[in-house]
Structure 1
C-alpha cells in the first residue's frame, strides 16, 4: 500500500474506518465538505494558472460533481479569498517518496496545492469552518519534508490558508521538524503493514487488529451503525 497523510491520519483516528475504506475497499459517499474542498481546490488552481474567476468557479462545480449542497455563490466567495498573484509558483505538485532508505520502506504520496518557484514556501488551501495551527498535525510537516527532498532544502515555510477567514497559519519547518513528521508517518505505516501481515494469516482477527475508536468523528462515518453493532459484542 502507498500511503498518504490522509490515510495515515484516518488510521490514527479510527483503525476500523481505515480498514473498511482502504483494506476492504468500501467507497464512502461524497460528503458536502469533501465535495466543496475538491471544487474549491480546482477553482483556485485554475485561477493561479490564468483562468478567469467565473470559468474557474464553473470548473470547481464540475470537480464537485454539482453536489446538491455546494453552491456557486459559496464557492465563488471562498475562491475570491485566495491571495492570488502572478508567478506564485507551481500548483498541485505530486510526490511519491520512500519514508526511509531501506528497500522495503513504505511509500508516501501526496499533492501539494502550491509550491513557490524556489521551493521555499508551500501552501495548502483549507475550506474548514474552524481554524487550527499548522503544527496541530503532520500534514504540512510531511509536505515540507517532501519538498526538502525534491528541492534539496533544509527549511520550508509551510502555510495553511483558511479561505473562509482570509487568514493563514504558517511556520518555517527546519530539518528537525521535517524529521519528526517523517518518523511519525514511518511509524504509523509500519504499524499498519505489520497488522496487514497478521490479517493475511488470521483474517478472523480483523476486528481486534483494526478496532474502532469512538469519537466525535463517528457522526460523519458511514460505518458508525455497523461499527457499534460489531464492537459492542467485544
Structure 2
C-alpha cells in the first residue's frame, strides 16, 4: 500500500474524483490565493520559531519585511481568485494582519518550549506496517507541565466551533506519530491558531478516540485501495477546486461561459434543458387540471347519483372505498406499533426486506466482509438513468 497523508485521505472523502485527478492521474493543481497567502504566513511563523529555538527574537518589523519579500518572490500570476471582490493587495494585507496580531499576542513566545517546527511525522496505523501515514506538524512544543502541544496555524476566513475541533482528525492522527518518537509523551494537547480572528482553540483525545481513529483510517485506506470508480461529489469547496473546468459536474458551465453571447442560446445542452423545463411546467399544469377535473366528476357523481359517467369515446368509472392506513416511518407512533407487532410474534408475517436500504448498506460497506460477501452474490449491477431539474448554480464571483 502507498503512503497516505491526512490531506490525501481528506481529499478522497471530500471528492473521489478530485482524488483521482490529483493522486492517480497526477494532474497539477492551480494554487488559490488563499493557499498562497496561507503558505507565506506559515513560512514566516516557521522562520520566527526557528529563531526562538535558538534563543533569538526577530523584531516584528523584520518579520513583516520577510513576509513581503517572500510574497513578491513567490508570486505567480496564475494564482486562482475565487472571491472576485478581493484583490491581491487585500490578501497580502490580511496575511500581514495575521502575522502582526499573532506576534503581539504571543511575544516573547515563551508560553511553552518549542522543540520542532515543520516536524515530519511518519508512522503505521497497524502492527504489520501496511497502513502508513505521514505529515508535517507546524509546531511541536512542550508546556511547563510536560504536556506536548501540537500547534496548527490556520488562515481560513471561517472560524469553526469547539465541537468542530473536538471532532477534527488531523492532529489526532499526528498524536499517534508523536507518541512513537519519545517515551515521555503521556499527555498531548492540540492547539489551532485561527490567525484571521486572533483566536486559539484547543482540544485533546482519549485512548478510545485514537483507537477508533486508527480503525476508521485503516478502513478508509482499504476502501481507497480497492476503489475502481471515483465519482465527483459536490460540496461548498467546488469553487476552490482546480479541476472544476474538467469536472463532469461543472465543465458544461465552463463551455457555456467560453461561448460568444450570441451563441449561448444555440448551444445544444442549454436547448435541451430549457425544453425539459418547459415540458415539465406544462405537465404540472396539466396534472393540476386533471385533479381539478376528477374533483368535478366526484361532485357530479354525488349530485346526480351515478357511478358511471359517459363521454364521447370514454367512460369514467367512479369508485369510493375506505382503506385502512397506519403510521408511516416519520410518525412517532410507528415505533410503538412495531413493538406491539414484534411482541405478538407476528412480525415476520408483515415485514418485508427493504432492498433499497440493503443496496445502500452494501455500497457503503458498513457491514462485516463476511456478511457483505454472502449478500453480494444475490445482487446484480444495472445502470439506472435519471434527469432532475434543479435551480441553476453559478460559480462564485
State the TM bucket, normalised to the shorter chain.
Answer: 0.7 to 0.9
How far apart are residue 96 of structure 1 and its match? 1.1
Q: Give the match for residue 75 of structure 1.
A: 95
How far apart are residue 60 of structure 1 and its match? 4.4
TM-score normalised over the length of structure 2:
0.51
Q: Give the match for residue 46 of structure 1.
A: 47
Pairing 1:145-224 to 2, within 5 Å after superposition: 145-152=176-183, 153-195=185-227, 199=228, 209-224=229-244
* Match status 1:141 vs 2:172: yes
Of residues 148, 151, 164, the one that matches 1:120 is: 148
CA gap 1:185/1:55 in 2 versus in 1, 3 angstroms: farther
Instruction: Give the stretch that moved more between structures: 215-224 or 164-173.
Output: 215-224
How far apart are residue 35 of structure 1 and its match? 0.8
* Match status 1:66 vs 2:67: no
Instruction: Give the stretch that moved more between structures: 91-100 or 135-144.
Output: 135-144
How far apart are residue 98 of structure 1 and its match? 1.3
* Structure having the higher Rg: 2
Pairing 1:19-58 to 2, within 5 Å after superposition: 19-50=20-51, 51=58, 52-58=62-68
Alpha-carbon separation, structure 1, partners of 2:147 and 2:23: 32
How far apart are residue 34 of structure 1 and its match? 1.0
More relative contact order, 1 or 2 (CA 8 Å, 6+ apart)? 1
Alpha-carbon separation, structure 2, partners of 1:223 and 1:72: 25
How far apart are residue 175 of structure 1 and its match? 2.1
Q: Deviations over 1:94-115 (max 9, x none)?
A: 0111121114x12110000111
How far apart are residue 14 of structure 1 and its match? 0.5
Q: Give the match for residue 228 of structure 1.
A: 248
TM-score normalised over the length of structure 1:
0.83
Q: Tell me if structure 2 keeps the 8 A contact 1:156–1:172.
A: yes
Alpha-carbon separation, structure 2, partners of 1:74 and 1:116: 27
CA gap 1:112/1:228 in 2 versus in 1, 3 angstroms: same
CA gap 1:7/1:59 in 2 versus in 1, 3 angstroms: farther
Q: Give the match for residue 206 of structure 1.
A: none
CA gap 1:59/1:5 in 2 versus in 1, 3 angstroms: farther
How far apart are residue 231 of structure 1 and its match? 11
In terms of fraction of residues, the more strand-rich structure is 1
Q: Give the match for residue 106 of structure 1.
A: 131
Q: Tell me if structure 1 keeps the 8 A contact 2:244–2:251.
A: no
| Structure 2: tracts of 5 or more residues without a match | 52-57, 78-87, 253-383, 386-397
Alpha-carbon separation, structure 2, partners of 1:149 and 1:131: 31
| Structure 1: tracts of 5 or more residues without a match | 200-208
CA gap 1:57/1:119 in 2 versus in 1, 3 angstroms: farther
Pairing 1:79-94 to 2, within 5 Å after superposition: 79-82=99-102, 83-84=106-107, 85-86=109-110, 87-94=113-120
